Every structure is written in C-alpha cells, then in structure tokens.
Amino acid sequence: MYMSSPQSTSVEALLAPRKRPYKVLVAKLGIDGHDRGAKVVARALKDAGFEVVYTGIRQTPRQVALAAVQEDVDVIGVSILSGAHMHHVKKLMEELRKLHADDIPVVVGGTIPIPDVEPLKKMGVKYVFLPGTSLKEIVEKTRELAEEKRRLEGED
C-alpha cells in the first residue's frame, strides 16, 4: 500500500495568470434532428479541455450568431445533416457580420457533398469536416483556430 502524494505545484504556476479554456459553440443549424455527430463532437471537445456550449437542435442562423456573441466563444462548430448547409451557412455568415462577430472562426460538419466544400470555404468557413473525419482531427483543428483567435486578440 502506498499513499499518493498531492500534486506539487510550483510557485510560478500559482502566480501565473490562469488561462481561460478555449470556448466552442456547437450548433445545430436548420431543422434536422440528427444530433449524434454534434453531441459526439461536443463531448470530445469537452474531454479535450474545451469549454463547450451546445445549442440543441433547430437553431436559426440569427440564434446561433447571437449565442456565439453572448457566450464569447473562440470557435463556432456547425452541424448540418439536412442538405440545407449552403443556405444556412451563408445566412450565418451574414448574421455574424451584422453583429461584427465575423472574427469568430466557423467550422462545418455533416453530410456535405464534396462539390459544396469550396463554395463553403469561399463564404468564410475555415474547415469542412466531411463524414469519416476523426475526432482527433476535429479537436486539433478547433484548437488551432481557437489559439489563433486568442493570439489576434492579444490574449496569448
């Protein structure tokens, strides 16, 4: 038998300003109910140390943009499996611009046909995660985007 020792913490670490965890909005845009992917990704991001806000289903572009601003998130992750991604993402980008929040990077996942990937990127989407993307890749790319946003804000 042995006792585990309490974790030793250095004085420097205790004095250093505590970094806010990266915050992500996971949003179900549109009216489809397929929330499996959104929930799995939300959980993976949470397990990777992100603070996650999940909107639940049936959100309008306006609601998602407002939530992103109110929650002051670093990244918006949109999940759509209704095929209406072109329409809704375009609207979301417009709403973010209206709120002067178009500095928040947007990533999209779902059943997206390959020919739609480039047009989505032209709208300003940073990454399109196609079916079969690993959670690891989603977490890594989301972290990169969050880091970059914090750097631009001068927080890091």
Partner 1 sequence: MPSLFNKEEVERIRSEVERWEREVVPQWLKKIPERMEEFTTLSGIPVKRVYTPADLGDYDYWEKLGLPGLYPFTRGIHATMYRARIWTMRMFSGYGGPEETNERLKFLIRHGETGLSLAFDYPTLIGVDPDDPLAEGEVGIVGVSVPTLLDMEIIFDGINMGEVTTNMTINPPAPVLLSFYVATAEKQGVPYNRIGGTTQNDPLKEFIAQKSYVFPPEPAVKVAMDLIEWSVRNLPKWNPISISGYHIREAGATAVQELAFTIADGIEYVRQLIARGLDVDEFAPRLSFFWDSHINFFEEIAKFRAARRMWAKIMKEWFGAKKRRSMWMRFHTQTAGVSLTAQEPFNNIVRTAIEALAAVLGGTQSLHTNSFDEPFRVPSAFAAKIALRTQQIIAYETGVADTVDPCAGSYFVEWLTDEIEERAWRYIDRIERMGGMLEAVKKGFPQREITEASYTFQREVDESKRFIVGVNIFRSEDIDEVRNVPLLEFDQEEIERRQKERVKKVRSMRNKQRWERALDNLRKAAERGENIMPYVLEAAKAYATLGEIMGALKEVYGVYVEPPIY
Alpha-carbon gap, residue 91 to 59, rounded angstroms: 12
Q: Which of 6, 17, 113, 154 binds partner 1 (CB under 8 A)?
A: 113
Name which position in 66, 69, 87, 150 contacts partner 1 (CB under 8 A): 87
**Which residue stretch of 15-23, 93-101, 110-118, 119-127 sits at the interface with partner 1 (rule: CB under 8 A)?**
110-118
**Interface with partner 1 in residues 14-73 (CB under 8 A):** 26, 30-36, 38-40, 42-44, 46, 52, 54-58, 60
Size of the site for partner 1 (CB under 8 A): 40
Among the residues of the chain, which ranges form H helices?
11-15, 36-47, 61-71, 85-98, 117-122, 135-153
Distances (CA, A) of 19 to 48, 50, 155, 156: 15, 12, 9, 9
Residue 88 vs 143, nearer CB to partner 1: 88
- What does the binding site for partner 1 look like in residue numbers (CB under 8 A)? 26, 30-36, 38-40, 42-44, 46, 52, 54-58, 60, 82-84, 86-88, 91, 111-115, 130-132, 134-136
